[in-house]
Each structure stands twice: as structure tokens, then as C-alpha cells.
């Protein structure tokens, strides 16, 4: 079955389409703020609620009662991100934690060739305070 060749729109059709799309764009309301953007704008008020000893769950519930729709986890993430940004830390650029890369102290137990490193303590696998002590209570079978 052969397809009919489609007609390409003429210049007049394009102008009509452009004016139609412009009218539609004018009718469409401006985009609403995202949930994160609204939380970022409400940050001082949210901080004031936290200062008054409100929990994150309570604040999230208050916001949801006023038109937000988010879980407590989402609220916590958005709040933390907005707080970091308000403190001047750009999103995604967290400060790395400082790690102390000093070698362990060389003592007799740390050297693989020492006899102390190759022996197993009597309470192997337990903490010193949990070392095995015999149970001196009589068993049921012994009574």
C-alpha cells in the first residue's frame, strides 16, 4: 500500500501555528515552585519551629496539611540540602571528613614475625571481659 505524500505546511500555516502557540503560552499559568524551592524559601520559619522544639515529623505534617505532599524522609533531605546551601556550602560539595592516616604504633603484637602476633589468646574471638569462665551452677541433668 503506497503512502500519500504529506504536504509540508506553508508559511501561512506556520504563522497561524505560531500565533496559536503564543496564545496558549499566555494562557498557561507560570510554573509553580518545586517542593524543594518552597522549603528553601520557608527555611527561616522552619528553623523557628525547630527552635521551639518541634520535631521534623511535626513540621512535615504541618506542611503537608497546607498543600505540600512529601514524606518525612523527603522533607529531611530537602531541609538538610537547603540548610547547607543557606550556610554557603554549594549543593554537592560537602566538606570531606578529616582522616588521620598515621600508621599504627609498632609494638610486638603488630609485627608479623613476632611470637606474640602468631599466638592465639585463650579467649580467642571474645572481648577480654567476656573471656570464658566455667559455669559452676548444677545442670538439670545433674540434680
Residue pLDDT, tens place only, 103-113: 666 656 556 66
| Residue 124 resides in a domain | no
> 42-50: long-range contacts (C-beta < 8 A, 24 or more apart)?
43/79, 43/82, 43/83, 43/86, 46/79
For the cut 60, the answer to whether the pLDDT of residue 118 exceeds it is no
| Residue 18 resides in a domain | no
pLDDT at 112: 60
The proportion of the chain whose per-residue pLDDT surpasses 70, expressed as a percent, equals: 58
Q: Specify the higher pLDDT residue, 22 or 132.
A: 22
Q: Specify the higher pLDDT residue, 60 or 12.
A: 60
pLDDT at 56: 96
Q: What's the whole-model pTM score?
A: 0.46
| Residue 100 resides in a domain | no
pLDDT at 76: 96
| Residue 121 resides in a domain | no
* Domain region containing 28: 24-86
Spatial distance between the Cα atoms of 50 and 82, rounded to a whole number of angstroms? 15
| Residue 41 resides in a domain | yes
Average pLDDT, the chain: 78
| Residue 105 resides in a domain | no
Q: Please give the grid coordinates belonging to residue 90.
A: 554549594
Q: Specify the higher pLDDT residue, 45 or 99.
A: 45
Q: Total structural domains in the chain? A: 1
The secondary structure of residue 69, as a DSSP letter, is: -
Tell me the CA end-to-end span of the chain in Å, nearest whole number.
98
Q: Specify the higher pLDDT residue, 64 or 143.
A: 64
| Residue 35 resides in a domain | yes
Q: Specify the higher pLDDT residue, 71 or 110.
A: 71
For the cut 80, the answer to whether the pLDDT of residue 15 exceeds it is yes
Write the Ramachandran bin of 92: left for phi over 0, alpha for psi from -120 to 50, otherwise beta: left
| Residue 37 resides in a domain | yes
Amino acid at each position: 500500500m503506497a503512502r500519500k505524500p504529506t504536504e509540508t505546511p506553508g508559511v501561512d500555516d506556520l504563522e497561524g501555528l505560531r500565533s496559536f502557540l503564543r496564545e496558549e503560552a499566555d494562557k498557561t499559568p507560570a510554573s509553580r515552585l518545586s517542593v524543594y524551592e518552597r522549603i528553601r524559601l520557608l527555611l527561616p520559619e522552619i528553623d523557628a519551629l525547630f527552635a521551639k522544639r518541634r520535631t521534623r515529623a511535626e513540621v512535615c505534617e504541618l506542611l503537608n496539611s497546607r498543600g505540600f505532599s512529601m514524606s518525612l524522609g523527603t522533607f529531611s533531605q530537602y531541609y538538610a540540602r537547603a540548610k547547607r546551601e543557606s550556610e554557603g556550602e554549594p549543593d554537592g560539595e560537602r566538606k570531606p571528613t578529616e582522616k588521620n592516616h598515621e600508621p599504627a604504633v609498632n609494638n610486638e603484637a603488630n609485627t608479623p614475625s613476632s611470637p606474640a602476633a602468631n599466638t592465639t589468646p585463650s579467649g580467642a574471638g571474645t572481648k577480654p571481659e567476656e573471656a570464658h569462665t566455667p559455669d559452676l551452677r548444677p545442670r538439670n541433668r545433674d540434680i
